């Protein structure tokens, strides 16, 4: 399906309240590897083998080496044209599965980070979540109390931040357009959001093999298609 049909629908419906849901694909054009597919593998491990409480208990050094590698990539990366276009939407809620913080760096003000933030850490004994964006001199890093620090992200089997899904669902109830950008849509509960929405929705993903829960599927890279879609939204809103 071409982008033209999606753009035509925006011109007809003139959506005012927009929710944008993103996954790793929106940051692929910033050079950050996605999770699934060949690029997602690190030293032959799958993310599902590393992003779990069990993996951390078994081998905190291995898990931290993976996170420090990703933190370094993200630190050096810049928001791309898709993040920047999304940030131009006034009053849109951005619901992201990404932990890279690039939507906020691009200027989006209302961002729900469903899976936390990779530059946050907390103590496994004391909790006490805090920001720590710099590289750690020694891995695995430890809290002043001596216990291990862990990345401030949601691992498989863990609960999402308490207010994340309620905020996303509340915004979807009022929305008249949902944009879904760069997610394989296989990780729940995030994947349930797009499936629960029955208004006008547009997905951007170069891989069409999984099909789409959205009204329109635009087979293109995020940095290429998102600015074009958002230009039209802003045009009909003005």
Catalytic residue positions? 115
What does DSSP say about strands 201-204 and 216-218: parallel, antiparallel, or unpaired?
A: parallel
Q: Which stretch binds ligand OAD (CB under 6 A): 8-16, 24-32, 54-62, 140-148?
A: 24-32
Indicate the DSSP class of residue 136: P
Q: Which positions from 27 through 86 interact with ligand OAD, judged by CB under 6 A?
A: 28-29, 34-36, 40, 47, 51
Residue pair 150/139 in contact (Cβ under 8 Å)? The answer is no
Judged by CB under 6 A, does residue 193 bind ligand OAD? no
Task: Give the range of 23-31, 126-134, 161-169, 195-203 binding ligand OAD by CB under 6 A.
Answer: 23-31
183 lines the binding site for ligand OAD (CB under 6 A) = yes
| 184 interacts with ligand OAD by CB under 6 A | yes
**Phi and psi angles of residue 159, each rounded to the nearest 5 degrees, phi first:** -75, 150
Nearest to 122 by CA among 91, 105, 139, 144: 144
Nearer to ligand OAD, 34 or 104 (CB): 34
Backbone angles phi, psi at 214, to 5 degrees: -90, 165
Least distance to ligand OAD, CB of residue 222, Å: 3
Task: Determine if 182 is a binding residue for ligand OAD (CB under 6 A).
Answer: yes
Q: Give the helix ranges, DSSP H, for the chain.
A: 3-13, 25-28, 47-50, 53-58, 60-76, 81-87, 102-106, 164-174, 190-196, 222-237
Among 115, 179, 194, 213, binds ligand OAD (CB under 6 A): 115
Binding ligand OAD (rule: CB under 6 A), the pick from 86, 204, 218, 233 is 204
> Which residue from 119, 128, 21 is spatially nearest to 77, judged by alpha carbons?
119
Contact (CB, 8 A) for 140 and 61 = yes
- Interface residue with ligand OAD among 143, 154, 171, 229 (CB under 6 A) is 154
Cα(60)–Cα(53) distance, rounded to whole angstroms? 10
Residues in 116-145 at the binding interface with ligand OAD, rule: CB under 6 A: none
Q: Is there binding between residue 25 and ligand OAD (CB under 6 A)?
A: yes
Which residues make up the interface to ligand OAD (CB under 6 A)?
Answer: 23-25, 28-29, 34-36, 40, 47, 51, 97, 115, 154, 156, 182-184, 187, 204-207, 221-222
């Amino acid at each position: 399906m071409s982008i033209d049909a999606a753009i035509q629908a925006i011109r007809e419906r003139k959506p005012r309240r927009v929710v944008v849901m993103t996954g790793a694909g929106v940051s692929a054009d910033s050079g950050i590897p996605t999770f699934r597919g060949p690029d997602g593998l690190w030293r032959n491990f799958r993310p599902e083998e590393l992003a779990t409480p069990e993996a951390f208990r078994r081998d905190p050094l291995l898990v931290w080496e993976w996170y420090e590698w990703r933190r370094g990539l993200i630190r050096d990366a810049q928001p791309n044209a898709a993040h920047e276009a999304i940030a131009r939407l006034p009053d849109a809620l951005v619901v992201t599965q990404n932990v890279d913080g690039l939507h906020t760096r691009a200027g989006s003000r209302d961002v729900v980070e469903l899976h936390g933030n990779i530059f946050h850490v907390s103590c496994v004994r004391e909790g006490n979540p805090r920001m720590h964006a710099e590289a750690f001199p020694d891995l695995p890093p430890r809290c002043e109390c001596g216990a291990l620090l862990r990345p401030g992200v949601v691992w498989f089997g863990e609960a999402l931040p308490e207010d994340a899904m309620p905020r996303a669902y509340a915004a979807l109830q009022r929305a008249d357009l949902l944009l879904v950008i760069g997610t394989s849509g296989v990780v729940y509960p995030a994947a349930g959001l797009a499936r629960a929405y029955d208004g006008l929705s547009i997905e951007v993903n170069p891989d069409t093999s999984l099909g789409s829960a959205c009204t329109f599927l635009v087979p293109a890279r995020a940095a290429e298609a998102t600015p074009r879609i958002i230009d039209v939204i802003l045009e009909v809103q003005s």
